[in-house]
Amino acid sequence: MVTAEECYSAKPLLKFSAYTDSQSQAVKDLGNEVLSLLTKVEIMSAYNRFWFWTLGAYEALRPMTDYLTCFDGPLGIEINRLKQKLAELRAPFAKQQLRGKNSKMGNEASVHGVGKDQKDMIFKIKGTMYSTSAIINEVNRFFDEISLSQVLAPMPE
């Protein structure tokens, strides 16, 4: 019989929330699919899935930011930093406007460029360039590197 601690060691986010753990895995899977499509230069398919990825990545982090006391300090800081970064990227895709009240969007949700050496899509939002492959890899690393010692408590009921 597998103990709770053994499960938590293998999947630390389970200690916080089974839903968050499942959502983080779905985000990683979808992100990896986007990266695979980019290597095949299937830009429209990658773009369409990246739209869903931005929504999912942000929403997977939302409950974590709502209950930061469930995580140690350094992880809490990283959760907030990553959610803020994703918020800037998510708004043009989710709301068709820039982040902030009634901020009109231009072409921020349009591909600003395509990487030459590494297959990539680049988006320019409020003057900041966002590399699709870099942000997906950053989110994947974030979820992969969470350790059991960083998850202090389950999400309150």
Question: Cα(27)–Cα(54) distance, rounded to whole angstroms?
Answer: 9
Domain boundaries, the chain: 14-149
**Is the Cα torsion angle 30, 35, 36, 37 positive or negative in sign?**
positive
In this structure, how many other beta carbons lie within 10 angstroms of the beta carbon of residue 49?
A: 19
pTM of the predicted structure, to 2 decimals:
0.86
Alpha carbon dihedral 99, 100, 103, 108, in 10-degree steps, equals -10
In this structure, how many other beta carbons lie within 10 angstroms of the beta carbon of residue 31?
A: 24
pLDDT on residue 105: 53
pLDDT digits (tens, 9 = 90+) for 97-148: 555 656 655 544 445 445 555 688 888 887 888 899 999 999 999 999 999 9
